[in-house]
Amino acid sequence: MTDPAITTNSQTDYGKIYRDSDTDGSRAQWLFGSTSTFDTDSGFDAGVDTSTFLNQIAVFKFQNLVITGNPTISTSGGVTNLGFVGVDGITTSSPGGTIDFTDLILSYWRLKTVRST
């Protein structure tokens, strides 16, 4: 499989594809570098339906992801599961609007660290 690519302002960056726990190991460890109590308790890392449901995910990791409109996503010949990891957050900004991921099976969003204020 080819690593997924994302282009913003003419700059292309690459993500990775998480295949499955037999191939890539712990999902939480692979995505975040560690496994939290939440990952274990919620079943994210080894839940009943995660053996197939959360596999084959194209993942992009950002320091701080700001979505300013509906992205264009091509899944031609690739996986149709998409995940975003925001180390310092995932937010939206103007012009905003409805974000639509109709061509995807799963849209997975998660902050790497959770902060309380």
- What pLDDT shows up at residue 82? 83
What does pTM read for this prediction?
0.74
Residue 117: pLDDT band (50, 70, 90) is very low
| Tally of residues, the chain | 117
Question: Where are the domains positioned within the chain?
Answer: 56-117
Taking the CB of residue 90, how many other CB atoms lie within 10 A of it?
16
Separation between Cα atoms, residue 56 and residue 76, nearest integer Å: 14
